[in-house]
Structure 1
Amino acid sequence: MKKILWFRHDLRVEDNLAFNAACKDGEVLPVFIYDQNYWELETSSSYHLKFTQDSLEELNQNFKDQFNSNIHIYYGNTLKVLDELINKYKFEEIYSNQIFRNQYILDLDQKCKNLFKEKNILWQQEQQFGIQLENRKRNFWSSQWNNFIDLNPVKAQINCKFLKVDTPSFDKIKTKEIDGTNIQKGGRKQALSLLQSFLEQRSENYQKEMSSPVTGEVACSRLSPHITYGTISLREINFAITSAKKENMSFNKVKSLRSFRSRLAWHCHFIQKIYDEPEIEWQNMNRAYDGLRENSFNEEYHHAWKIGLTGYPFVDACMRYLKANGWINFRMRAMLVSFASYQLWLDWKRTSKHMAQLFTDYEPGIHYSQFQMQSGTTGINTIRIYNPIKQSTDQDPNGSFIKKWVPELQNVPDKLVHEPWKLTYLEQKDLDLEIGKHYPHPIVDHHSSSKIARDKIWQIKKTDEAKFNAQKILRKHASAKGRR
């Protein structure tokens, strides 16, 4: 029996159900395909590509060392690649893990299903997130997810022969190039190292330090891109957390790990959302908000927000940090989106594409749900408009983060670095700094723009249509704990 083992967002062999299922017998060809059209989407970027290449390079080396084989890597049209492999080598079965990304992947998978049906090929897909694929029962989602995540990770097992075939060479993969300087390195060794350091040291003050970009860089697990590309599984992370010796831990660390584990559940909860309703990628979850921002998009505001020149130092510092690192902590992501959606009144359907490129850990299910939540278009979430000055003084009280990432302001006194427009003419002269020339004036008045935005959102939120839609959304998507 000849089989294709199709690696996708599961770049590991440990706790990889598709790997074990394919390798239990027969002849197996390990394959990875860089889908050309996917990498040219406006949500794809060199950040994603670099992390994928790192991870794939390590996985390929692992295959050589352990199995005297290699991953066969292709670039082009996925459907064409698979069709040619089937026709040339007479494969009968294909194994992969299920992935839930965006409409493009959804459409691609449907085309693959049609091709495999036409060719009489078995396509066996395995579960790796514990979401409900059919007949979803909302009240039992939590208990079913816990049953899935609490299973012990499975070891890689092989009883097959790995095939070797010729693969065509290809030129540089085309995608959006971004010149970040400190992107996380991909690969399973990195994932395991991060997990170990988080469990042993960095999680001590996770709950207290995760909100600030100053402390969050270390206090957060930093496993998110590894989860996205599957260099480590959720069950492996959960097993490590639950196996840790709690008796040797401080009370803070026990609470922190409990909090972190809950975020594994939220990860899958949001993937469930995009599986249940793929449309959240491109349309408002609550259709009563259609037309709210679409016809009033300000290109000047959008550009200033993207390059970190809004005149709000903390907002700009966070955006510049994100571009350099391909990552920023969750609260700051929420603030950046909120500022764009409310103070700048920019449509999330466009701002989300830019942020997708910058997030090395771009996970569509989480991404679009959070963008809609922070933009007020779900109708079921609290309208949370972040005050950029309060966030600045709360999360960066002495302005060290601002001064590092907005060096134009590095000589401004700490008490004024959050609001440099309050510098007097003489103070600016002494600092050799001119607000409006060396660093911009605030692009909007955040007090008045926030009030206008809040009023517009509430005007819709109070309507019967918005309320009716909100109830439907709650029935479909809201999490509810069921019986164990």
Structure 2
Amino acid sequence: MTAIVWYRDDLRVSDHFALYAATESHASVAFIYVLDDKAPGIRPLGGAARWWLAQSLRTLQASLRERGASLVLRKGSAPTVIAALAREVGADAVYWNEIALAPHQAIENQVAAALSEIGIVTHRFPGDLLAPPNQIRNQENRGLRVFTPFWRRVQAQGDPPKPLPAPKRLSGVANLASDRLEDWKLEPAKPDWAGGLRDNWQPGEAAAQARLKAFLDGSIAGYSGDRDRPDRDGTSRLSPHLRFGEISPRQVWHAARFAAAEHPRLSADIEKFLSELGWREFCRHLLFDVPDLATRNLQPHFDGFPWKQDAGALQAWQRGQTGYPIVDAGMRELWHIGVMHNRVRMVVASFLVKHLLIDWRCGEQWFWDTLVDADAGSNPANWQWVAGSGADAAPYFRVFNPILQGEKFDPDGAYVRRWVPELSQLPDKLMHQPWTATPLELASAGIELSKTYPHPIVDHRAGRERALAAYATIRGS
């Protein structure tokens, strides 16, 4: 008896329900990943995420090979490709982990129908969420739009199932044709802009597990405060590993709970960390109910918001040339290593939509292309949260002051000095507002405003007042 395991956003061998069930019930198993980049409703990956996918698939190939199996790579329509492989290996069943999103579920149903036509049964298992969206509903059978009651409901369900172990050996199917990963052209070549990604990341399941352990052994102490400090290594950096399923939320949950039991003094920090896992869950549940979250305002009255068309300001923001050091540092960090510190993400997003009045969708699209952890739920939900158009949204009058944010969360300027080196010689007190420096102070730091570093492209006070006026036009509508 032969089975197939269809890999998707679950690129690991441990805590993999479909893999576990298939290997328990069948003498041999074929493993396949299908690159179906033309499926309707499925958002194509951005450039940075495509790079990560390539590395993750390589590590999964190696992990399966070590256990006696291989990963078949094929490109095309998932129903057609999987049905063809099933005929090729004489499979009697296909297993996969579900993705609780409408477009993915539609493809799952098409795969199941294609396999049913040739007499092959299918088995689906819970995917990469702590709780299925259909379990967290209100009295009108809709998903919750406020985080705190949502997270309470998830926690009230108790611990998720314990993670499943990785198999030590697998009985794979030999001599199956597979595409060459290089032929998929997931990685940039000319130009090769991925040097910073290679220098800063190690994708794959083993790296994800090592990162989780290092975090719980170290940075978790003080997480509640340090998570807001971009100048410190105070976050888990697990987001891209979770995005591609190299580690599961269940594994993170149980490891964190174990750490809290072992070290009660860490309980508050661990609860805060788990709430961030809960926010990821919240965003995915939102996307389950609103598949077009990346393009449609969750609050319809925002459809009349007076966004500005300003290609020059958008480009200055993208390139980290706004004249506000904390904003520019964040945007350059993003371009170089494919992530941005979470506190800074909020600051740069607020700056784009409020100081510059540029549509949040422009920022969301830029993040989608440049983030290695670009998540179809978290990315648009977070952008809408900042803009005020989303669920549990920040109040419209909250306009982050990039000067005060920098002074509060990067007080010594270490973060700015790393990513905006032309300001590195400025004294700490001037780091977040270099335009206030005297000519002598600028000269001593080797800075010539408008030449080596730009003046602010918008005055903070004027930008805030303009934003509040714009928001006033849609209040009550």
Q: Same fold (TM over 0.5)?
A: yes
Matched residue, 1:334? 346
Normalized per residue, the structure richer in helix is 1
Report the AA paired with residue 69 of structure 1.
A
| 2:258 pairs with 1:243 | yes
The answer on 1:258 being equivalent to 2:257 is: no
Question: How far apart are the structure 1 equivalents of 2:160 and 2:87?
Answer: 41
Displacement of 1:256: 0.5
168, 171, 174: which one pairs with 1:164? 174
Cα deviations by residue, 1:24-69 (Å, 9 ceiling, x for unpaired): 223421111233448xx98624432333333333332222222x11
Aligned partners of 1:43 and 1:354 also within 8 Å: no
In the other structure, the counterpart of 1:460 is 474
**CA apart distance, 1:435:** 0.7
Seen in structure 2, the aligned counterparts of structure 1 residues 42 and 24 have a Cα distance that, compared at 3 Å, is: closer
Q: Show the counterpart of 1:361.
A: 373
**1:300-319 pair list within 5 angstroms:** 300-319=312-331
CA deviations over 1:147-185 (Å, ceiling 9, x no partner): 364322222469984322422434433458443513421
Instruction: Tell me the CA shift for residue 390 of structure 1.
Output: 0.5
Query: Equivalent residue for 2:294?
Result: 281
> How far 1:461 moved relative to its partner?
3.0
Alpha-carbon distance in 1 for matches of 2:302, 2:367: 22
Give the partner amino acid of 2:475.
K
Q: Deviations over 1:322-362 (max 9, x none)?
A: 22222222111111111111111111222111112222112
Unaligned runs of 5+ in 1: 464-484
Alignment of 1:77-476 (within 5 A): 77-100=77-100, 105=104, 108-109=107-108, 111-128=110-127, 129-134=129-134, 136-138=136-138, 142-143=152-153, 146-147=156-157, 149-156=159-166, 161-170=171-180, 171-175=182-186, 177=188, 178-181=193-196, 182-215=199-232, 218-244=233-259, 246=261, 248-249=263-264, 251=265, 253-293=266-306, 296-378=308-390, 380-381=392-393, 382-383=395-396, 384-463=398-477
Q: Per-residue CA shift, 1:294-339, capped at 9, x if unaligned?
A: 5x32111111111100111110011111222222221111111111
**Partners of 1:421 and 1:107 in 2: how far apart?**
54
2-side partners of 1:446 and 1:245: how far apart? Answer: 43
Structure-1 separation of matches of 2:202 and 2:324: 31
Query: Do the aligned partners of residues 287 and 111 (structure 1) sit closer, same or farther apart at CA in structure 2, a change above 3 Å counting?
Result: farther
- Aligned partner of residue 377 in structure 2, secondary structure: helix
Give per-residue Cα distances to partners, 1:184-219, cap 9 Å, x unaligned.
21112211211111112211111111101111xx21
Within 1, Cα distance between the matches of 2:217 and 2:392?
38
For residues 243 and 347 of structure 2, what CA distance do their matches in structure 1 show?
22
Q: Alpha-carbon deviation of 1:288?
A: 1.2
1:461 is paired with a residue whose SS is coil
Alignment of 1:32-111 (within 5 A): 32-37=33-38, 44-66=45-67, 68-100=68-100, 105=104, 108-109=107-108, 111=110
Query: Residues 144 and 423 of structure 1: is their aligned pair in 2 closer, same or farther, counting only changes over 3 Å?
Result: closer
Aligned to 1:476: none
Once residues 162 and 148 of structure 1 are traced to their aligned partners in structure 2, the CA distance between those partners, rounded to angstroms, is 36
User: RMSD over aligned Cα, in angstroms?
Assistant: 2.8
Structure-2 separation of matches of 1:345 and 1:43: 27
* Residue correspondences, number: 454
> Could you tell me which amino acid in structure 2 is paired with residue 235 of structure 1?
R
- Is 1:18–1:96's contact at 8 Å kept on the other side of the alignment? yes
- The Cα shift of 1:458 comes to 3.5
Q: Are the counterparts in 1 of residues 216 and 256 from structure 2 also a CA contact under 8 Å?
A: yes
Pick closer, same or farther for the CA change 1:145–1:97 going to 2, 3 Å: farther
Q: CA deviation at 1:88?
A: 3.6
Q: How far 1:117 moved relative to its partner?
A: 5.0
Question: 1:135: how far off?
Answer: 6.9
Q: Over residues 353-407 of structure 1, what are the superposed CA-to-partner deviations in whole Å (9 max), with x where a residue is unaligned?
A: 1112222112111111111011121375223321100111111112222122112
2:258 maps to amino acid: S
Distance 1:281 1:92, change over 3 A: farther
In 2, Cα distance between equivalents of 1:451 and 1:255: 38
Instruction: From the superposition, tell whether residues 285 and 74 of structure 1 become closer, same or farther in structure 2 (CA, over 3 Å).
Output: same
Letter in 1 for 2:326: F
Q: TM-score when scaled to structure 1? A: 0.85
CA distance in 1, matches of 2:18, 2:367: 31
Structure 2 stretches lacking a partner, 5+ long: 140-148
In 2, Cα distance between equivalents of 1:396 and 1:135: 41
Distance in structure 1 (CA, Å) of the matches to 2:225 and 2:169: 48
Kept in 2, the 8 Å contact 1:317–1:405? The answer is yes
Q: Partners of 2:17 and 2:290 in 1: how far apart?
A: 26
Contact 2:306–2:470 under 8 Å retained in 1:
no
Q: Given residue 122 of structure 1, which amino acid in structure 2 is its aligned partner?
A: V
Instruction: For residue 290 of structure 1, give the secondary structure of its aligned residue in structure 2.
Output: helix
Mapped partners of 1:145, 1:112: distance in 2 = 33
Counterpart-to-counterpart distance in 2, 1:247 and 1:114: 48
**TM-score, normalized by length of structure 2?**
0.86
CA distance in 2, matches of 1:393, 1:54: 37
